């Protein structure tokens, strides 16, 4: 087996699926191969535990040693992808493990045990206090196999309800944790069913729809109080060479270094004498928490009535070097300033709107780095029937189209108390 095949095999082992690809690659370099004949002892009760054993081929039987209280416990069989020698607090084996057939194992010696404790959001136990806010937002607590718990953190952007991008990013993180690390997400499709309560944890249940050779598919349900509030279907694919073209051309916009970010625009508005004093005073009093995504707008406010918007964005703070994490971060960011573009042509003085993302799709064409500038090019071809439709394209600084996106959102005039709950229905 070459290194690539060993990595691919290890990526299928459930114990290792919560690790980043970089750790799995290092484990692939460190494992030893051990072979046993039928009847041979793989581990003997009382022998020191020398590492993590993963079965590559064949079967082994675990049996309790004779004359112990465990004697009546039925023996059980270990098959391909099963493992032992990890997760026990004991430094010696408590059971016998005997080869039933010809058996081949990978053994990760004890000195490499740290590779099983990654330092990123994919870590099972670690609390990610030293990481950027984004990694903390995307950090999920594993509760059971394929079940995770996420939270709305105090410093995270929230609106009236749980931010849609948080649901997309956390659900994608949950799905990614259950997929062989050599497969990267290439598309996802999400539907927002019920507004999420930001004071409650969110439970993410992953369904392993399919594991193919090249592709894997996951369905994720996000739940609060037993109700499904959000669903996501994501498809993952192994790297593949194929036909190449890019017809989309990156618009000619100023580089991010020449543009103002959201905080600087706000700062200017607070001091700009052209804005009424009352507006400036009330704006200054509003609690302002900077988003974990930095944005720089390519157009000035004069063009805010166009059904389009271009801005550069990147994650604030350094992210761990894990391609799956970067995809989750960009998925998170993609819902921050997006469907609002469908309201642009309708903006007028005093307009108050009620707007919620309804669905969201992303296609990841190429690898993406979320802590490097990306240009988000948004267009709204249509608004009709209380729904605004937007399409997005993301380019890296080299002008490569890295992602395409679509979304439909509920866009209504905000109703004031006493108003009927629905906007008028069209006459048939
Ligand atoms: C130079 C440029 C500078 C730019 C600077 C920019 C600064 C930017 C600043 C800020 C940007 C902010 C960007 C934020 C983006 C965030 C996006 C999100 O995160 S959205 C969250 C995810 N999506 C969900 O959570 C939906 C979940 N789904 C649902 O909630 C439901 O499926 C729903 C509402 C879509 C449909 O449910 P039903 O069929 O029951 O709908 P019905 O009956 O029409 O309404 C239900 C209730 O919704 C409220 N509601 C509905 N319409 C309303 C309206 N017009 N006004 C007020 N409330 C309304 C009322 O409470 C209503 O209940 P009653 O009818 O009163 O009993």
pLDDT for position 137: 93
Among the listed residues 230, 246, 121, 238, the one whose alpha carbon sits nearest the alpha carbon of residue 180: 238
Percent of the chain with pLDDT over 70: 90
pLDDT for position 245: 97
pLDDT over threshold 90, residue 379: yes
What does pTM read for this prediction? Answer: 0.79
Question: E strands within 365-400?
Answer: 374-384, 387-396
pLDDT for position 301: 67
Give the range with max mean pLDDT: 116-120, 205-209, 420-424: 205-209
Nearest residue CA, atom 8 of ligand 1? 337
pLDDT band at 132 (very low <50, low <70, confident <90, very high): confident
Instruction: Provide the pairing of β-strand 83-84 with 32-36.
Output: unpaired
Mean pLDDT, all residues of the chain: 88
pLDDT for position 422: 55
**Structure token pair of residue 160:** 């009236």
SS3 state at 40: coil
pLDDT for position 71: 52
pLDDT for position 85: 85
Distance 255 CA to ligand 1 centre (A): 34
Section 132-144 average pLDDT: 90
pLDDT over threshold 90, residue 322: no
Distance 410 CA to ligand 1 centre (A): 6
Query: Rounded to whole angstroms, how far apart are CA atoms 402 and 366?
Result: 5
pLDDT for position 95: 87
Across the chain, which distance is largest between two alpha carbons, in Å?
Answer: 89
343 pairs with which residues across the strands? Answer: none
HSE-CB at 396 with a 13 A cutoff on CA atoms is 13
Q: Phi first, then psi: what are they for 235, rounded to 5°?
A: -115, 135
227 lines ligand 1 (CB under 6 A): no
Catalytic one among 82, 180, 322, 335?
335
Is 407 noted as a catalytic residue in this protein?
yes
Section 374-379 average pLDDT: 98
Indicate the burial class of 269 (C-beta count within 10 angstroms; 0-12, 13-18, 19 or more). middle
Of the listed ranges 28-37, 250-259, 269-278, the one predicted with least confidence: 269-278
pLDDT over threshold 70, residue 264: yes
Neighbour tally for 344: CB within 10 Å:
18
Nearest residue CA, atom 22 of ligand 1? 164
Q: Which residues are within 8 A (CB) of 173 and not within 5 positions of it... i.e. 6 or more apart?
A: 121, 138, 140, 148, 150, 324, 325, 328
- 336 or 419: which leads in pLDDT: 336
ipTM of the complex: 0.92
Query: Rounded to whole angstroms, how far apart are CA atoms 83 and 14?
Result: 10
100 lines ligand 1 (CB under 6 A): no
Please report the domains of the chain, with CATH numbers, ordered by start residue.
1-113 (2.60.120.10), 136-236 (3.10.129.10), 254-411 (2.40.160.210)
pLDDT over threshold 70, residue 69: no
Section 362-378 average pLDDT: 97
Give the range with max mean pLDDT: 60-74, 78-92, 305-319, 383-397: 383-397
- 277 or 387: which leads in pLDDT: 387
193 lines ligand 1 (CB under 6 A): yes
Section 260-269 average pLDDT: 80
pLDDT for position 124: 45
pLDDT band at 127 (very low <50, low <70, confident <90, very high): low
Is 50 noted as a catalytic residue in this protein?
no
Candidate of 167, 192, 302 to mutate for ligand 1, largest count of ligand atoms within 8 Å of Cβ: 192
pLDDT for position 14: 80
Of the listed ranges 45-54, 126-135, 197-206, 328-337, the one predicted with least confidence: 126-135
Is 357 noted as a catalytic residue in this protein?
yes
341 within 8 A of 308, measured Cβ to Cβ: yes
């Amino acid at each position: 087996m070459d290194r690539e095949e060993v990595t691919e095999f290890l990526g299928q082992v459930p114990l290792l699926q919560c690790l980043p690809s970089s750790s799995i690659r290092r484990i692939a370099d460190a494992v030893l191969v051990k072979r046993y004949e039928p009847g041979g002892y793989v581990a003997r009760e009382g022998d020191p535990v020398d590492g993590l054993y993963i079965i590559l081929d064949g079967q082994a039987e675990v049996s309790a040693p004779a004359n112990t209280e465990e004697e009546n416990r039925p023996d059980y069989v270990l098959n391909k992808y099963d493992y032992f020698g990890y997760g026990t607090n004991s430094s010696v084996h408590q059971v016998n493990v005997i080869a039933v057939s010809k058996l081949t194992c990978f053994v990760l010696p004890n000195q490499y045990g740290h590779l099983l404790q990654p330092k990123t959001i994919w870590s099972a136990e670690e609390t990610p206090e030293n990481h950027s806010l984004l990694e903390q937002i995307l950090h999920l607590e594993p509760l059971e196999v394929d079940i995770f718990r996420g939270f709305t953190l105090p410093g995270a952007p929230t609106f009236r309800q749980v931010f849609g991008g948080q649901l997309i990013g956390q659900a994608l993180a949950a799905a990614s944790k259950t997929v062989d690390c050599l497969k990267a997400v290439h598309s996802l499709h999400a539907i927002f069913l019920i507004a999420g309560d930001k004071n409650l944890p969110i439970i993410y249940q992953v369904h392993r729809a399919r594991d193919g050779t090249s592709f894997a598919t996951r369905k994720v349900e996000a739940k609060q109080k037993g109700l499904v509030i959000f669903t996501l279907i994501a498809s993952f694919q192994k790297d593949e060479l194929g036909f190449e073209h890019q017809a989309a051309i990156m618009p000619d916009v100023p580089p991010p270094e020449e543009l103002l970010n959201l905080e600087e625009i706000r700062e200017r508005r607070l001091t700009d004498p052209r804005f009424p004093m009352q507006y400036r005073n009330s704006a200054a009093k509003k609690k302002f928490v900077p988003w974990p995504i930095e944005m720089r707008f390519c157009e000035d406010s004069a063009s805010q009535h166009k059904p389009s918007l271009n801005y550069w964005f990147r994650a604030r703070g350094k992210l761990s070097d894990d391609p799956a994490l970067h995809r989750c971060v960009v998925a998170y960011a993609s819902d921050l300033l997006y469907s609002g573009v469908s309201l642009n042509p309708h903006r007028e003085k005093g307009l108050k709107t009620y707007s919620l993302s309804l669905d969201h799709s992303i296609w990841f064409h190429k690898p993406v780095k979320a802590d490097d500038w990306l240009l988000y090019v948004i267009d709204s071809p249509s608004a009709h029937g209380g729904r605004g439709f937007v399409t997005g394209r993301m380019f890296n600084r080299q002008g490569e189209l890295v992602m395409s996106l679509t979304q439909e959102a509920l866009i209504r005039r905000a109703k004031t108390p006493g108003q009927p709950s629905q906007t008028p229905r069209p006459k048939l």
